[in-house]
């Protein structure tokens, strides 16, 4: 076991987009960061970029045994998990609900909803076992509170994340574990870039600032929810959306 004297954070989906921004932000704040992602090469590159003391691990968040093994490995290595960011997610195909294949529905739900459930379950159990009064932030979306055409699977999965967050927050408040969710607006990440590049001006106009978010802006809000500054906040859904949901 490595004792760092620093708080330990686990970030799923931590090798790209919002997860990567969170990993960098936490490392700069003095946390020991464990980056977990499906892409082994990206995991190794991110861990190396963060520097000595940080760790990269490969995981498929749709596989409960892999998630349990991941969390157990973090505890074995560092003795604790103080904070977690569940950021792994997929966008899904742009299809009307009645045209969405069952396999596509299940793929999106498996990553975005099941992945958060499996991660939450393992993280909560690890914190409770160690007596850690920790904090967990789930990366939902503005689509967790509104609807959007041609995205039924994605919208449903993000609504599920918001619901899980609220239920779990009540269940584990007595253990001192705070559980919150953020709702990013459209954000300049690889997840957004390819399918929606041709709609960039339209998407920017949906925000009061007439632009999409930078990943670091989402990471700053996540950091706040993990920090002691947010010690009386649990079960919250925090839109970080440049005014998208204010209309």
Residues paired with residue 95 on neighbouring β-strands, in sequence order: 151
Three-state DSSP string of the chain: CCCCCCCEEEEECCCCHHHHHHHHHHHHCCCEEEEEECCHHHHHHHHHHHCCCCEEEECCCCCHHHHHHHHHHHHHHHCCCCEEEECCCCCCCCECHHHCCHHHHHHHHHHHHHHHHHHHHHHHHHHHHHCCCCEEEEECCHHHCCCCCCEHHHHHHHHHHHHHHHHHHHHHHHHCCEEEEEEECCECCHHHHHHHHHHHHHHHHCCCCCCCECHHHHHHHHHHHHCHHHCCCCCCEEEECCCHHHC
Cβ distance 9 to 31 under 8 Å? yes
Whether 154 sits among the annotated catalytic residues: the reply is yes
Q: Max Cα separation, the chain?
A: 53
Using alpha carbons, select from 30, 222, 51, 210 the residue that is nearest to residue 135: 222
Catalytic, out of 154, 186, 237, 244 = 154
Catalytic residues: 154
């Amino acid at each position: 076991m490595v004792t760092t004297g620093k708080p330990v954070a686990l970030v799923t989906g931590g090798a790209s987009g919002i997860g990567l921004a969170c990993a960098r932000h936490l490392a700069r704040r003095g946390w020991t960061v464990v980056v977990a992602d499906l892409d082994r090469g990206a995991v190794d590159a991110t861990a190396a970029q963060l520097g000595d003391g940080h760790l990269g691990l490969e995981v498929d968040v749709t596989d409960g045994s892999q998630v349990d093994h991941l969390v157990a490995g973090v505890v074995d290595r560092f003795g604790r998990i103080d904070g977690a960011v569940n950021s792994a997610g997929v966008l899904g195909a742009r299809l009307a609900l009645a045209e969405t294949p069952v396999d596509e529905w299940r793929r999106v739900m498996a990553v975005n909803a099941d992945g958060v459930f499996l991660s939450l379950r393992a993280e909560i159990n690890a914190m409770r076992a160690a007596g850690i009064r920790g904090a967990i932030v789930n990366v939902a979306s503005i689509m967790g509170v509104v609807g959007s055409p041609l995205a039924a699977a994605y919208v449903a999965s993000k609504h599920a994340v918001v619901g899980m967050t609220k239920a779990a927050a009540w269940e584990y408040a007595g253990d001192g574990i705070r559980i919150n969710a953020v709702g990013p607006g459209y954000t300049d990440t690889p997840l957004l870039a390819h399918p929606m590049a041709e709609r960039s001006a339209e998407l920017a106009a949906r925000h009061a600032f007439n632009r999409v978010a930078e990943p670091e802006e989402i990471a700053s809000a996540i950091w706040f929810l993990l920090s002691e500054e947010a010690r009386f906040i649990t079960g919250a859904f925090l839109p970080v959306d440049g005014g998208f949901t204010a209309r």
